[in-house]
Structure 1
Amino acid sequence: MSIWRVKPVSAFEADMKKNDLKRVLTKWGLTSLGIGAIIGGGIFTLTGIAAHDYAGPALALSFVIAGIGCLFASLCYAEFASVLPVEGSAYAYAYGTVGELFAWFIGWNLILEYMMGATTVAVAWSGYFVKLLHLFHIDFPIWLCNDLTTATEKAREAGIEAPAFAINLPAFIITLIVTSILVKGIKEAAKTNNIIVIIKIAVVLFVIIAGAFYIDTANWQPFVPEETTTIVDGVEKVNFGFGGVMTAATIVFFAYIGFDAVSTQAGEAINPKKDVPFAIVASLIICTVLYILVSLVLTGMVKYDVLDKSAPVASAFAENGLGWAVFIITIAATAGLTSVMLVMMLGQTRIFLGMAKDGLLPPFFKDLHSTFKTPYKSTYLVGAIIALVAAFTPIDKVSEMCSMGTLLAFAMVCIAVMILRYKKPELERPYKTPALYLVGTLGVSFNLFLMYYVRAETWYAFIIWGVIGIAVYFFYSKKHAKLNNPEEFDRLDENRN
């Protein structure tokens, strides 16, 4: 009953053999899922917030910093994925190495990562969808496409009376649509994602190439604006300078979390031990290069302090008189954000599935649809929660909560992979992280360093979430864990030998 008990590798191998999910994903199909998750809210929405409020033209540095932190973690993820190619991602990796409580806490934070990630993207999707309708002279009332806080701010800016009630209806509806696609199955979801990813990459390349002709280098001066400090609602807020660049890095860090979603699809990969590590690293490198180039183009086209925070890419082209390009970018962003939601919600339900198989969550979360072979009950539940949160919560609040869960999970993975290399050096590793102890240590340090720059109110919410998670573990998960019956795993070891 120790909280540090680990799940035997033989048990993971048994899970893989009796896997009921359909194995249909190829190497490039997995890479496409990774790109589909990475390119989205971070590049189409959060670039505006991060540049306007925190980093200015130095947003490119924020992307470099966040990308380096992710690279260390991605190399560790890749080794784990080659050893334990099962659904559950970092949660499963920790369960097989460090111990049950450690694994539970990672899983609990991955819930925060994926659920808040999908919520952030749903709100971002709504912003671009409303902008798209506006291009066709169709306008939503403020109270019908924003949460109450955002609607009040926009009403104040427009000089009109603030609404007494507001709901982000487009965000609510798109979440329900994506939920229905996911219930139908991974093959259908992957096909939808592949089409959207091709459109997204084409438009991102268009933004980089076309936008480069409209860069005014004067907009990059000063590249790192002088640091300022303001008090907002009694909380000190650092803007620009080194502190602002680091805060922006914690915000745009959200833009990178898609690569770890690849590892949650191991149960549906045709050759997971080789293809999952490839897809993790490939998707991250491709998207990092694109992010840096886009951030330089945006802050070069428009002065950072006039960037539109809700739709920065489209507004940058509009400011330069390229109205026709706004149509292309807005349509692509709307479609692109849909695929991010799809992969985020897909990853969330697979983590639930892995935790439920181990008894740490109720059996409800592992029930598969008789026809589609998808965890349909948890998909419906996740969809309902995301739809409600997206309908009533500001985007900056949920994106930072998502980043907190991600940063901690990445740091824990870096620790866990070093422990596994030390404790079980004999395991077959189709992919081995180069200079692991250096890479792992840098990964832990880097992610904890970024957590230091997350705003205080986000820390408070994160601590509350963590306390709730530990309570759930001791009141339910520890009592129902399958590891309470170790003789079952002893039999697995005997059969394996």
Structure 2
Amino acid sequence: MANLFAVKHISTLKSEAGEEGEHTLRRSLGPVNLITLGVGAVIGAGIFVLTGQAAALHAGPAIALSFILAGITCAFAGLCYAEFASLIPIAGSAYTYGYATLGELVAWIIGWCLCLEYAFGAATVASGWSGYFLSLLEQLGLTPSASLAPFTTTYGNVLYLYHGRWLPFMSLPMGVTDVSGLPHVTGVFNLIAFVVIGVVTVVLVRGIKESANLNSAIVFVKVGVVFIFLFLGIGFLLQHPDLARMNWHPFIPPKIGPGQFGISGIAAGAASVFFAYIGFDAVSTAAQEAKNPQRDMPIGILGSLVICTILYIAVSLTLTGLVSYKALNVAEPVAIGIDATGVKWGGLLVKIGAVFGLGTVMLVMLLGQSRVFYSMSRDGLLPKWAGAIHPKFRTPWISNIIVGTIVAFLPALLPIDKLSAMVNMGTLLAFAIVSAGVWILRVRHPEMERPFKTPLVPLVPICGIVSALYLIANLPTLTWIVVGIWLVVGLVIYFSYSTKHSKVQKLEARATAKQ
């Protein structure tokens, strides 16, 4: 049983980080690539989808405070990630850091949770992407026919044709209650979401440099769209200050139930929008592909986190100022916000930005997931195919293809609310373990040279642990159930396969036999 908590020595990790050749990942990413990688993962569903839903259901205009609370939690964890990423520049993120400090079983659990985070996170975003893409087509006058519409949404979801747009009942205008006279179809398979995951998978197999450059270009486009929204929205509010005062009052609506408005609503809102921050930690999974990881990884992780937090707060305040939070529980809250300014081309622009923005989130999520598989395979905890590197493209291509295929079916068959409920706990658990790992490593190996040092240890790691556990406590029951089932499946794989093939356990067994 002691071998279950065997640690992977830092010297071994540093040796792996220095390996070169066609069997290793190519080091081709600079600090700008890493920052845009983080921004590409973070700026997406949070701004374009979750902001409105969390405001309407949990926090009201105080959703800005929810983003601050979630951002503070990420900042504590981000500082710890930055120290580990500069110290151990290995693909694998929190999995690798847990292996080096808390042992193999803990590393397996966190690696398995990261697979849930990235895979289901990409599927969730693909579902949202298909909605925005369909809306964009319809705004351009390309409404699917009744025979094609069932292949634009998940199985069993009913769409109604209203003013040239296929909409679910919850997205119809509030005054529309009688739908008996509206043409409608029942979803069969979300082909749009399936195809976009396939395209992203092909890009990732082709190469990390190409993926990162494409991501960087799209990030500049979608951040530009966000700034245009802020420019138009803030300008409109400055001209109509009474509208903002009306929509922001009361800033913290009175509590009407557990996790709905009041102070508890802010915490529940933070737990809800935490999905919006998932992705900055994906920067650390690219550590083995950074040109100068000791310098560039902290810049990439912390730089992307700061930029995204500022944008989230600004967008949430502007959005709830333009539109009452009560009307924001829709799939396209930012489009509704910009429509309130009267700028006719604004809605079209936002949808274009969302299509680009959500596309890069999928790219980084699937990149991170395959790199975790790569690291677990190299340690013997997963089969060799998960770590196989393409001789030309130098990417974990088999892992990319298999994971991409599985993920493509998830948003094609499951609705977005079921997918998003499965993601947040894995991330928060990873944050808690990484924070604890920094503290443990400082105690065990205080002499190690650290290119980046987390300040105020152990205060910052303790705050990271406590804040992550606090947000976990505010997650819905369904999340606990799904993650529990996922962990049981993972532990079955671990004890039936991984313990027999673990390289670290084999080394421990040989060392014990010599004594």
Tell me if TM exceeds 0.5.
yes
Q: C-alpha offsets along residues 154-182 of structure 1, whole Å, 9 cap, x if unaligned?
A: 55556258755432221111100101100
Q: Which of 274, 283, 306 is matched with 2:327 structurally?
A: 306
Name the structure 2 match of 1:14: 15
Is the Cα contact below 8 Å between 1:148 and 1:163 reproduced in 2? no
Q: Which of 19, 39, 45 is matched with 2:43 structurally?
A: 39
Residue identity matched to 1:223: F
Distance 2:463 2:169 in 1: 45
**What's the offset of the Cα at 1:53?**
1.6
SS in 2 for 1:2: helix
Name the structure 2 match of 1:493: none
Q: Which of 145, 151, 157 is matched with 2:152 structurally?
A: 145
Q: C-alpha offsets along residues 456-476 of structure 1, whole Å, 9 cap, x if unaligned?
A: 111111111112222221111
Q: Which of 252, 257, 270 is matched with 1:224 structurally?
A: 252
Distance 1:213 1:168 in 2: 38
**What's the offset of the Cα at 1:214?**
2.5
- With over 3 angstroms needed to count, the CA separation of the structure-2 counterparts of 1:15 and 1:399, relative to structure 1, is same
- With over 3 angstroms needed to count, the CA separation of the structure-2 counterparts of 1:302 and 1:487, relative to structure 1, is closer
Residue identity matched to 2:441: L
Is the Cα contact below 8 Å between 2:247 and 2:320 reproduced in 1? yes
Is the Cα contact below 8 Å between 1:175 and 1:387 reproduced in 2? yes
Q: Which of 77, 80, 93 is matched with 1:76 structurally?
A: 80
Distance 1:388 1:49 in 2: 25
Residue identity matched to 1:86: I
Name the structure 2 match of 1:194: 216
Structural mapping, 1:306-325, within 5 Å: 306-307=327-328, 309-325=330-346
Residue identity matched to 1:291: Y
Name the structure 2 match of 1:96: 100
**What's the offset of the Cα at 1:143?**
2.9
Distance 1:267 1:374 in 2: 12
Name the structure 1 match of 2:33: 29
- Structure 1 position 359 matched with structure 2 position 366: no
Distance 1:206 1:165 in 2: 35
Q: C-alpha offsets along residues 198-250 of structure 1, whole Å, 9 cap, x if unaligned?
A: 11111111111211122322111111122223xxxxxxx64222222222211
* TM-score, length basis structure 1: 0.93
Distance 1:37 1:155 in 2: 27
Distance 1:60 1:310 in 2: 19
Q: C-alpha offsets along residues 114-158 of structure 1, whole Å, 9 cap, x if unaligned?
A: 111111111111111011111111223553222236437955556
Residue identity matched to 1:189: S
Segment of structure 1 superposing worse, 67-76 or 400-409: 400-409
Name the structure 1 match of 2:292: 271
Name the structure 2 match of 1:122: 126
Q: C-alpha offsets along residues 23-69 of structure 1, whole Å, 9 cap, x if unaligned?
A: 11011111111111111111111112111222111110110010000
Runs of 4+ in structure 1 deviating by more than 6 angstroms, as ranges, are 487-490
Name the structure 2 match of 1:407: 428
**What's the offset of the Cα at 1:17?**
2.2
Q: C-alpha offsets along residues 439-493 of structure 1, whole Å, 9 cap, x if unaligned?
A: 0001100010001111111111111111222222111111110013317998xxx
Residue identity matched to 2:99: Y
SS in 2 for 1:413: helix
Is the Cα contact below 8 Å between 1:155 and 1:162 reproduced in 2? no
Distance 1:149 1:58 in 2: 35
Is the Cα contact below 8 Å between 1:156 and 1:162 reproduced in 2? no
Q: C-alpha offsets along residues 257-276 of structure 1, whole Å, 9 cap, x if unaligned?
A: 22111100011100011110
Name the structure 2 match of 1:342: 363
Q: Which of 443, 447, 451 is matched with 1:426 structurally?
A: 447
Q: Which of 56, 65, 72 is matched with 2:69 structurally?
A: 65
**What's the offset of the Cα at 1:395?**
1.6
- With over 3 angstroms needed to count, the CA separation of the structure-2 counterparts of 1:97 and 1:487, relative to structure 1, is closer
Distance 1:17 1:85 in 2: 9
Distance 1:486 1:144 in 2: 52
Q: Which of 260, 267, 289 is matched with 1:239 structurally?
A: 260
Q: Which of 160, 165, 169 is matched with 2:191 structurally?
A: 169
Residue identity matched to 1:15: E
Distance 2:478 2:117 in 1: 17
Name the structure 1 match of 2:413: 392
**What's the offset of the Cα at 1:21?**
1.1
CA RMSD of aligned residues (A): 1.8
Distance 1:162 1:439 in 2: 54
Percent identical among aligned pairs is 46
Q: C-alpha offsets along residues 336-379 of structure 1, whole Å, 9 cap, x if unaligned?
A: 11111111110110110000000001101011112111111110
Q: Size of the alignment, in residue pairs?
A: 483
Is the Cα contact below 8 Å between 1:72 and 1:443 reproduced in 2? yes
Distance 1:207 1:196 in 2: 17
Q: C-alpha offsets along residues 59-82 of structure 1, whole Å, 9 cap, x if unaligned?
A: 101100100000000000011111
Name the structure 1 match of 2:164: none
Residue identity matched to 2:336: S
Distance 1:270 1:441 in 2: 31
Q: Which of 227, 231, 239 is matched with 1:209 structurally?
A: 231
* TM-score, length basis structure 2: 0.90
SS in 2 for 1:246: helix
SS in 1 for 2:8: coil
SS in 2 for 1:166: coil
Residue identity matched to 1:188: E
- With over 3 angstroms needed to count, the CA separation of the structure-2 counterparts of 1:397 and 1:441, relative to structure 1, is same
